[in-house]
Amino acid sequence: MAGDYKYKPTNGFTRWLDSRLPIWRMVDEQVLNFPTPKNLNYWYTFGGILTLMLGVQIITGIVLAMHYTPHEKLAFDSVERIMRDVNYGWMMRYLHSNGASMFFIAVYIHMFRGLYYGSYKAPREVLWILGVIIYLLMMATAFLGYTLPWGQMSFWGATVITNFFSAIPFVGEAITQWLWGSFAVDNSTLQRFFSLHYLLPFVIAGVVILHIWALHVPGNNNPLGIDVRGPQDTVAFHPYYTVKDGFAIAVFLLLFFYFVFFNPNYLGHTDNYIPANPLVTPAHIVPEWYFLPFYAILRSVPDKLMGVILMFGSIFVLFFLPWLDTSRVRSAAFRPIYRQAFWIFVVVCLGLGWVGAQTTDYKIFDLGPKTDVVEQIVEKAKADNVTGQALEAVRTQAEEQNRRAFDATDLGRILTILYFAFFLIAIPLIGVVETPKALPRSISEAVLAHGGSSQPARPQGAHA
Amino acid sequence: MRLLALATLSLSLLAAPLAVAAGDAKHPEHQHWHWDGVFGQFDRGQLQRGFLVYKTVCAACHGMNLLSYRNLGDEGGPEFPEDAVKAIAAGYQVPSLDEDGQPAERPATPADRFKGPHPNEIAARAANNGALPPDLSVIVKARHGGADYIYALLTGYKDAPADMTMGAGMHYNPYFAGGQIAMAAPIASDDLVEYADGTKATKDQMARDVTAFLTWASEPRLEERKKLGVKVMAFTFVFALVLFMAYRRLWRDVPH
C-alpha cells in the first residue's frame, strides 16, 4: 500500500549510500512521505504518544539505574536517596513512576480505538497480535518495576503475583521457587526482577519495530474502516501527521506533567513508602490501577487455578479477536449494534477496575436479613426459654448482624461474565445478525460529502 | 453517551486510589497548608518551629534516618543558617573510631545522619511496650491522607467510647486504623517547646508546625518541584498552542 511514491536520491553521496545502505530511502518512504489516510482523528495519535512514552521510560530508567541499588536492605533507601541527593533525581523518579501510569492510559485508549474502528481485522491481524504481545510485555515490565522500590506494596504485590504460578498443578511450587530464586520473595527475587526490568523494555522496543513494520505493509486503518483507494485519499505522514501527533503529544504531556510536578504520588499507593516487611501483611494488597480489572477477574473466581486461568484468558482472548469477529465491516461507525456493545464493554472494563480497588466484601446493596440464619437463632433462643420482648430483641439483633448483600465480588462476577461474553458471544454474533450502514465508496468521497471544509469531517458516530 | 463514557473513564482513573481508603478509621478533615496548590511553598518559620517540636517531642521515640543535619540548611527546607546547623549537629554524639581504631564517640557534623533514639529495633520495642515507633523520614507520603492525617492523629486523641475494650497500654484515637494506638498523645499540653520567634506554642500550633516539618522531610524537593513545574507547564502549554496553530495552518487546504 506504500503507494506509487518512490524515493529518488538527489546527489552523489545519497546515490552512493542508497546502493550500499538504503537507510535514507527507508526514512523517506516509511516516515517522511509515508502515505497516510487523510481522515485520521485524534484517537489515532496515541501510537505516537506511546512511542514517546517508551522513550521517556527507557531514558529515565537508564538514569535511575545508575543510582539505584537492587538489594533488599538498600533498595528502599537508594530510591529515597535518588529523590533527595541526586540532581533532579526526584524528577527522573517521578517521571518514571508516573510515566508508567501514563503509558497505560495511552495504551488502553490505543487498544479501545483499535476495537472501535476494527483495526484488528484483515489484513491487520499480525499488527494486532504484535500489539497484544507489547501489552503483555508492558504488564510484565510494570509489575517487575513496581517491586524495585521494595516498599510494602512492592513486596506483597510480588508475593501475590508470583503465587499465581503456584496454582499450576504438580509443578506450581517448583516454578514459583524458580521464579523467586529462593523459597520466598527475597533478595534474589529483587535482583532478578531488576535485571529483567532492565531487559524487557528493549524487547518491547524490538516488538514495537515489528508492530510499525506490520502497520506499514497494509497501511493505517482509519475511522471509516475502508481501504485507501489512491493518492487522493492520503497525505504524507510528514508534515501532516508529525504536526498533528505533535500537538496531541503536547496536550498529553500537560496531563503527564501535572502529575509529575503537582501530584506525583496520586496514582501510587501510600503503603509503598513503608519499607518492605515480610512479617507484616498490609490491610489491603492492591495492585497499581492499571491491573485492577484483571485483579477483579481473578478474585471473582473462588477457585485459585480457575481464577488465574480466567485472568490470563482475559488477555489471551485478544489474540483470537481477529477471527472471533464475523463482520466484514471494520468501523463501528457503520455498525449500530456493535457500537452499543462496544460502549457497554468500555463500562464493563471500568466497572471491573472499580471492583478491583474494593475489598471483596464491600457492600453495594443491602438485600435484607438472611432469614434462615435469623430463624435458627430465634429458634435456639426459644429453646432457651427466651420470650416476649427479649425474644424480639434477639430477633432484631440477629437481623442486624446477618444480612445478605450484593457485594463487590458479586458485581465482579457479573462483569467478568460480561467481559468474556463480549468477545465470545457478542462479537461473533453481532457480525452475523447486524445490518451495517452503507459504506462510502472512498475516503475522499466521504470527506467531500461533508463539504470538504477545513472542519474535520467525520461520519456520524466516528467522532467520539 | 461517548462523552459520558469518557468522563467516567477519566473519573474512575482519578478515583481509583481514593477508593482504597483505610477501613474503619475516621477520615481526616482537610486543613489549609501553606504548601497547598500549584504555587504553594513552605513557611520557613513554620519548618524551623516544626523541627524544634520534632527534636523536643518526637525524637524521644522516632528516628529520621534518611535526613542529615545538613538538610536543615538546604534551600527549600527550614534553611537554618550554617552556624545553627553546625550547632544542632554538635549537640549529638555519634559513634566513631579513635586514633587507635577503638570504638569512640564524637560530636556529629552536618554531614551525619540524624541520630536515632534507639540503637536497633529490639531496643526500640523494649522501650515502647513492644510497639515499634516508625521512622518519620517519609511518614507523610506513607500514610493515606498525608499531612491532614498526621495533624488529625496528633490532635485527635480522645477518651475511648464506653463500649470499646482497650488493649493494655493502648490509647484511643479515632483517626488511627482500629482506633487503638500504642503512642500516647505526644502533644498533650501547651508550651512543650518555647518558640524563638515568639509564636505561642499551643497544642494546635505545635501539631501544625511539626506536620509541616514532616511534610518537608518527606518531600524535601517540593518547592523546587513546584517552581519548575509551573515553568514546564507554561512552556508546554505555549508549545501545544503553537503546534495547534501550525496544524490548522497546514491542514487548511486539505479536505479531511
Q: What is the pLDDT of residues A2-40, one digit of tens each?
A: 456 789 999 999 999 999 999 999 999 999 999 999 999
Which structural domain, as residue segments, surrounds residue B181? 23-67+114-246
Low-confidence winner among A372-376, B108-112, B136-140, B216-220 (lowest mean pLDDT)? A372-376
Q: What is the pLDDT of residue B11?
A: 47
Contact with chain B for residue A460, Cβ under 8 A: no
Mean pLDDT of A309-336: 97
Taking 80 as the threshold, does the pLDDT of residue B43 lie above it? Answer: yes
CATH for B145: 1.10.760.10
pLDDT of B201 higher than 90: yes
Of B9, B16, B243, the CB nearest to A250: B243
Task: Tell if the CB–CB gap between B255 and A457 is shorter than 8 Å.
Answer: yes
Nearest by CB to B16, from A246, A347, A353: name it.
A353
The arithmetic mean of pLDDT across residues B189-216, rounded, is: 97
Q: How far apart are CA A290 and CA A139, in angstroms?
A: 9
Residue B94: phi and psi, rounded to 5, are: -120, 155
| B163 domain residue, yes or no | yes
Averaged pLDDT for residues B187-211:
96
- List the single residue in A239, A265, A292 with the smallest CB-CB distance to B250: A239
Q: How far is A18 from chain B (nearest CA, A)?
A: 31
The domain ranges of chain A are: 34-309, 336-435
Q: Which of A93, A262, A263 to mutate to test the interface with B (most CBs of B within 10 A)?
A: A262
pLDDT digits (tens, 9 = 90+) for A276-305: 999 999 988 999 999 999 999 999 999 999
Please report whether residue B136 resides in a domain.
Answer: yes
Locus of grid cell 503456584: A166
Residue B73 lies in a domain: no
Interface test with A, best of B1, B4, B20, B68 (most A CBs within 10 A): B20
What's the mean pLDDT when you consider all of chain B?
91
How many domains are contained in chain B?
1
B29 pLDDT more than 80:
yes
Tell me the count of A-B CB pairs closer than 8 A: 134
User: Which site among A38, A40, A52, A84 would you substitute to test the B interface, given the most B Cβ atoms closer than 10 Å to its Cβ?
Assistant: A84
Q: What is the pLDDT confidence band of residue A356, given thresholds at 50, 70 and 90?
A: very high
On whether residue B74 sits in a domain, the answer given is no
CB A224 within 8 A of CB A331: yes
Count of Cβ atoms closer than 10 Å to residue B12 Cβ: 19
Could you give the residue ranges of the DSSP H alpha helices within chain B? 2-15, 44-56, 82-90, 121-127, 146-155, 203-218, 222-251
Q: Which of B220, B228, B240 sits opposite A84 (nearest CB)?
A: B220
Query: Once rounded to an integer, what is the mean pLDDT over residues A152-162?
Result: 96
Is the confidence at residue B16, as pLDDT, over 90?
A: no
Interface contact flag, B177 A452, Cβ < 8 Å: no
Using an 8 Å CB-CB cutoff, list chain A residues near B142: 270-271, 273-274
- Asked if A187 and A74 touch (Cβ cutoff 8 Å), the reply is no
Say if the Cβ atoms of A247 and B228 lie within 8 Å: no
On the question of pLDDT at B42 being above 90, the answer is yes
Q: What is the ipTM of this complex?
A: 0.90
**Tens-digit pLDDT profile for residues A376-394:** 988 898 888 888 888 888 8
pLDDT class of B15 with cuts at 50, 70, 90: very low
pLDDT in the model for residue A2: 46
Average pLDDT over residues A435-443: 95
CB A134 within 8 A of CB A319: no
Per-residue pLDDT of B153-164, as tens digits, reads 999 999 999 989
Burial of A254: CB neighbours in 10 Å, binned 0-12, 13-18, 19+:
middle
Please tell me the distance in Å from B220's CA to the nearest CA on chain A: 7
Out of A103-107, A399-403, B5-9, give the one with best mean pLDDT. Answer: A103-107
CB-based contact A350 B9, cutoff 8 Å: yes
Domain-embedded: residue B212: yes
Give CA–CA dist A117/A339, Å, rounded: 10
CA dist A193 and A174 (Å) reads: 18
* Closest Cβ opposite residue A267 in set B17, B71, B239: B17
Query: Domain spanning A34-309: which CATH class is it, in words?
Result: mainly alpha
CA distance B217 to chain A (A): 10
pLDDT of residue A403: 87
Contact A261 B229 (CB under 8 A): yes
| Chain A residue closest in CA terms to B19 | A357
CB contact residues (below 8 A), chain A span 312-341, against chain B: none
Query: What is the length of chain B?
Result: 256
In the predicted model, is pLDDT for residue B13 greater than 80? no
Q: Name the pLDDT band for B24 (thresholds 50, 70, 90).
A: confident
Tell me the average pLDDT of chain A: 93
Would you state the pLDDT for residue B255? 81
Residue A75 φ then ψ, to 5°: -60, -50
Statement: residue A152 has pLDDT above 60: yes
| Type of residue numbered A210 | L
* Reported confidence tier of residue B25, pLDDT bands at 50, 70, 90: confident
How many Å lie between the alpha carbon of B157 and the closest alpha carbon of chain A? 23
Contacts for A352 with CB less than 8 Å, ≥ 6 apart: A292, A293, A294, A296, A297, A412, A415, A416, A419
pLDDT at residue number B253? 87
Give the pLDDT of residue A385: 87
Checking if the pLDDT of B4 tops 80, the result is no
Query: Residue A455: pLDDT above 80?
Result: no
Amino acid at residue number B232: V
